[in-house]
């Protein structure tokens, strides 16, 4: 099978969240299963060209949008020697911008990128069986294909659209747009900049794709249920037997405490006593009190409302009273970061915040005792799977992919690989933190829990095979 992934971010080139991380792993696994796969993504200004040398593969070409002519080129590189990655080079829209998303013309940027897919296929003289579109920034491709003349050789390409985050529908999110201005998801794709700014890329992707997926089994159910559907229930119901949930995995070579170069001390399940050296290193690095016995709670996350910061701030003073420490590494929403900094200032021995870096991210995975993900919603979540791998115990809310991967600790049967709470309230979060701290104080139980966590495996093999079945379904 020949598959092209279209996506706005690919780690290690550019990553703002889990989406980029998935792109660095799933394609390799699909390739390993014997299929031809390539990735198409914008050449963002943020990409470090020293670190990632790219090869020009085309002369300058022209793309037409309405009356506008857009000059562009393509570059190429390899992810892990096997999966080619093609970059859309358009300096004005991408290369000269700092932001991966956003800008006044945010939708226009990605509309042009979506159209450029066909220019790329022409350049490569290649026709994939499947174009797999990820999230809203690739949402117009199924729509373009549907509009295409029957005689076009691309008409036989099938599309799969994956929802990684249902809240993002375009540069302006659906809930920010007045009802009378909302996109009807049916009319021809506009070129007029004003109309374009209301275009709902996500819904168009769903509407016109041959098969739609999201990133966990439970989230697929949530998207079909009132309250948790992000307004997509009716549209998704029209897909009937063409909407599936496939959980994400993590790359066990990339996330491996035994070889992770970012850790001061490497360890694995057989050398678990070394994990504490990383805890001390993290405490030291962030200026917290250095002490093995203090429970260290932490997050490594995109900082946004979705991730449960409102709940965290509601219970933090009480958790600190219990003697816990709390660290956050991540980048995102300014107001939350200000609050984190204010807490860090008030409790310098107990609270610390640092912007995201790969190194600090790893140190959090290895150094904390409890890894918090009290998300309001979570299509998949990767952090909980990585923290399991590092023996840091996830404490999560029972939603989406978190519920699919973490089972609650049961002291009677001594089962479970984390701590899980149900309703999105501060009370439940605090009760669950208290419950976890009680187990933490019993060294033996905690060690068993850590071992069990490290034994859980969420590799990409199974999900990759499921995607292949989806591709077969789409081409049937």
Q: Which long-range contacts (CB under 8 A, 24 or more apart) does 422-425 make?
A: 422/397, 422/398, 424/308, 424/311, 424/374, 424/376, 424/397, 425/311
Interaction of residue 18 with ligand GLC, rule CB under 6 A: yes
CB of 222 to ligand GLC, least distance (A): 12
CB of 275 to ligand GLC, least distance (A): 25
Interaction of residue 379 with ligand GLC, rule CB under 6 A: yes
* Residue 48 to residue 87: CA distance in whole angstroms: 13
Q: Which two tokens stand for residue 149?
A: 């003349």
Q: How many residues at the interface with ligand GLC, by CB under 6 A?
A: 14
Give the distance, in angstroms, between the CA of residue 211 and the centroid of all CA atoms in the same chain.
20
Residue (of 414, 382, 390) closest to 296 by Cα position: 390
- Cite the DSSP H helix spans in 292-414: 309-321, 334-346, 358-367, 383-389, 400-405
Interaction of residue 139 with ligand GLC, rule CB under 6 A: no
Closer residue to ligand GLC (CB): 283 or 375: 375
DSSP line for 3-27: EEEE-S--TTT--SSHHHHHHTTHH
Closer residue to ligand GLC (CB): 351 or 464: 464
Interaction of residue 340 with ligand GLC, rule CB under 6 A: no
Contact 364, 391 (CB under 8 A): no
- Candidates 17-25, 290-298, 308-316, 453-461; binding stretch for ligand GLC (CB under 6 A): 17-25
Interaction of residue 27 with ligand GLC, rule CB under 6 A: no
- Candidates 11-19, 35-43, 101-109, 186-194; binding stretch for ligand GLC (CB under 6 A): 11-19
Q: Which two tokens stand for residue 252?
A: 């066990």
Closer residue to ligand GLC (CB): 159 or 375: 375
Residue (of 400, 398, 407) closest to 455 by Cα position: 407
Contact 100, 88 (CB under 8 A): no
- Candidates 14-22, 225-233, 287-295, 389-397; binding stretch for ligand GLC (CB under 6 A): 14-22
CB of 353 to ligand GLC, least distance (A): 20
Closer residue to ligand GLC (CB): 295 or 332: 332
Q: Supply the DSSP symbol for 418.
A: B
The residue from 4, 14, 15, 17 that contacts ligand GLC (CB under 6 A) is 17
Residue 84 neighbours by CB under 8 Å, 6+ apart:
38, 39, 76, 77, 78
Residue 464 neighbours by CB under 8 Å, 6+ apart:
26, 29, 30, 32, 33, 249
Which residue number places its CB atom closest to ligand GLC?
A: 18
Q: Name which of residues 222 to 251 contact ligand GLC (CB under 6 A).
A: 248
The residue from 29, 210, 251, 378 that contacts ligand GLC (CB under 6 A) is 378
CB of 163 to ligand GLC, least distance (A): 9
The residue from 137, 381, 394, 418 that contacts ligand GLC (CB under 6 A) is 381
CB of 306 to ligand GLC, least distance (A): 6
* Residue 349 to residue 331: CA distance in whole angstroms: 22
- 3-class DSSP state for residue 243? strand
Interaction of residue 19 with ligand GLC, rule CB under 6 A: yes
* Residue 415 to residue 407: CA distance in whole angstroms: 8
Name the maximum alpha-carbon separation found in the chain: 70
CB of 28 to ligand GLC, least distance (A): 16
Q: Name which of residues 169 to 228 contact ligand GLC (CB under 6 A).
A: 215
Interaction of residue 449 with ligand GLC, rule CB under 6 A: no
Q: Name which of residues 398 to 417 contact ligand GLC (CB under 6 A).
A: 401
Interaction of residue 372 with ligand GLC, rule CB under 6 A: no
Binding site for ligand GLC (CB under 6 A): 17-19, 22, 164-165, 215, 248, 378-382, 401
């Amino acid at each position: 099978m020949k598959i092209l992934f279209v996506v706005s971010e690919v780690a290690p080139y550019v990553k703002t969240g889990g989406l980029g991380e998935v792109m660095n792993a799933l394609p390799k696994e699909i390739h390993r299963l014997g299929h031809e796969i390539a990735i198409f993504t914008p050449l963002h200004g943020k990409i470090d060209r020293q670190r990632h040398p790219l090869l020009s593969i085309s002369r300058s070409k022209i793309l037409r949008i309405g009356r506008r002519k857009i000059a562009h080129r393509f570059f190429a590189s390899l992810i892990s020697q096997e999966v080619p990655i093609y970059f859309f080079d358009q300096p004005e829209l991408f290369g000269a911008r700092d932001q991966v998303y956003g800008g006044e013309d945010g939708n226009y940027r990605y509309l042009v990128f979506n159209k450029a897919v066909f220019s790329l296929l022409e350049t490569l003289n290649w026709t994939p069986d499947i174009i797999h579109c990820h999230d809203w920034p690739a949402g117009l491709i199924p729509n373009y294909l549907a509009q295409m003349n029957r005689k076009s050789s691309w008409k036989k390409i099938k599309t799969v659209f994956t929802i990684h985050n249902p809240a993002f529908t375009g540069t302006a999110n659906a809930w920010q747009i007045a009802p009378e201005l909302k996109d009807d998801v049916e009319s021809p794709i506009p070129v007029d900049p004003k109309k374009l700014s209301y275009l709902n890329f996500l819904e168009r992707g769903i509407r016109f794709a041959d098969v739609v997926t999201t990133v966990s089994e439970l989230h697929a159910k949530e998207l079909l249920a009132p309250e948790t559907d992000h307004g997509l229930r009716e549209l998704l119901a029209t897909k009937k037997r063409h909407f599936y949930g496939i959980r994400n995995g993590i790359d066990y070579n990339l996330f491996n405490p035994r070889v992770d170069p970012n850790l001061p001390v490497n360890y694995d399940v057989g050398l678990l006593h070394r994990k504490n050296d990383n805890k001390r290193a993290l405490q030291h690095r962030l200026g917290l009190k250095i002490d093995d016995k203090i429970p260290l709670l932490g997050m490594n996350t995109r900082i946004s409302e979705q991730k449960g910061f409102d709940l965290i701030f509601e219970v933090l003073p009480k958790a600190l009273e219990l003697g816990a420490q709390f660290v956050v590494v991540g980048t995102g929403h300014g107001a939350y970061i200000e609050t984190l900094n204010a807490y860090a200032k008030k409790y310098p021995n107990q609270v610390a915040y640092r912007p995201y870096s790969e190194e600090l991210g790893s140190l959090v995975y290895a150094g904390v005792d409890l890894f918090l993900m009290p998300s309001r919603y979570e299509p998949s979540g990767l952090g909980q799977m990585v923290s399991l791998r590092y023996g840091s115990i996830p404490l999560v809310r029972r939603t989406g992919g978190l519920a699919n991967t973490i089972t609650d600790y049961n002291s009677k049967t001594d089962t479970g690989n984390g701590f899980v709470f149900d309703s999105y309230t501060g009370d439940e979060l605090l009760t669950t933190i208290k419950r976890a701290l009680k187990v933490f104080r019993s060294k033996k139980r905690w060690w068993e829990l850590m071992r069990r966590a490290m034994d859980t495996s969420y590799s990409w093999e199974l999900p990759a095979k499921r995607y292949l079945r989806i591709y077969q379904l789409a081409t049937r």
